[in-house]
């Protein structure tokens, strides 16, 4: 008899059947899609832009590379990647079609029309052949995946030998006092912003809770290595509010 614990996962602080999480996540991002970019600026006071530029600095995109940006939403990372690379191609994959629709509306989308495509898909079952991409990125998305290890395994599969994985995600602040201050801001301010700007308190309450359920930097690093990536490492940004994890398919 199968253990019920193996069939459940977390949706924020709520325990739900694994089969339901993806639909719940879709519901969250369908609800917030039209205000997602605005809320990112407001919640982080614009600092998310600095984090994403730091991601590009470490990634150092090169001309003619093919990027798969998973949970790519409205295309932020893909647009930055193509601008840095100068030439190449980016595929934005997301489980929520409304996020991709919002991405297509952005002015940057018209500037790179021939170098970009948008795909509805699941990070745990990518609709691409083995060894299809030079770079795989996932930015503030892997904590929403039902089974993150499977997403990392899929990342390894679709990357070519010599390919690069890079994950940007909220993480744990190693300074307890700073973590307490961040928790106070997160729980007391962000859901209220969600209500005011996106008319959706519950979705942003979930997003805050999902951060607290995500593995810390070292635990996630071990997951990256378990997927097969070598030369894996991470960098903390903003004291560890977010972390960048990198790995190579050798």
pLDDT of 35-47, one tens digit each?
888 888 888 888 9
Q: Give residue 244's pLDDT band: very low, low, confident or very high (50, 70, 90).
A: very high
CA 34 vs CA 76, 95, 139, 170, 216: distances in Å: 14, 16, 18, 22, 30
Which CATH number is 46-171+216-248 given? 3.40.50.150
For residues 45-56, give the mean pLDDT.
94
Q: Who contacts 146 (Cβ-Cβ below 8 Å, separation ≥6)?
A: 9, 18, 21, 22, 124
Q: Give residue 1's pLDDT band: very low, low, confident or very high (50, 70, 90).
A: very low
More confident residue, 23 or 1: 23
Residue 232: per-residue pLDDT: 98
Instruction: Decide the pairing of beta strands 230-237 and 242-248.
Output: antiparallel
Q: Give residue 225's pLDDT band: very low, low, confident or very high (50, 70, 90).
A: very high
Per-residue pLDDT tens for 200-224?
899 889 888 999 999 999 999 999 9
For residues 85-94, give the mean pLDDT.
97
Residue 6: per-residue pLDDT: 62
Residue-averaged pLDDT of the chain: 93
Q: Which of 2-16, 46-60, 122-136 has the lowest mean pLDDT?
A: 2-16
Enter the pTM of the model.
0.91
């Amino acid at each position: 008899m199968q253990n019920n614990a193996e069939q459940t996962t977390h949706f924020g602080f709520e325990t739900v059947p694994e089969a339901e999480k993806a639909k719940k996540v879709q519901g969250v991002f369908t609800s917030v899609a039209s205000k997602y970019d605005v809320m990112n600026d407001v919640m982080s006071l614009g600092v998310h832009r600095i984090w994403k530029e730091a991601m590009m600095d470490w990634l150092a995109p090169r001309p003619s590379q093919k990027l798969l940006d998973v949970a790519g939403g409205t295309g932020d990372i893909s647009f930055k990647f193509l601008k840095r690379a100068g030439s190449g191609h980016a595929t934005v994959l997301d489980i929520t079609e409304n996020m991709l629709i919002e991405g297509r509306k952005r002015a940057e989308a018209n500037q790179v029309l021939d170098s970009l495509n948008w795909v509805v898909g699941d990070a745990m079952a990518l609709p691409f052949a083995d060894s299809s991409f030079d770079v795989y990125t996932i930015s503030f998305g892997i904590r929403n995946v039902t089974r993150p290890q499977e997403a990392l395994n899929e990342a390894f599969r679709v990357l070519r030998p010599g390919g690069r994985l890079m994950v940007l995600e909220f993480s744990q602040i190693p300074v307890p006092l700073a973590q307490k201050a961040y928790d106070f801001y997160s729980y007391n301010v962000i859901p209220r912003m969600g209500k005011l700007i996106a008319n959706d308190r519950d979705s942003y309450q979930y997003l805050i809770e999902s951060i607290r359920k995500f593995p810390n930097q070292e635990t996630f690093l071990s997951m990256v290595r378990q997927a097969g990536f070598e030369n894996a490492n991470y960098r903390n940004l903003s004291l560890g509010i977010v972390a960048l994890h990198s790995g190579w398919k050798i």
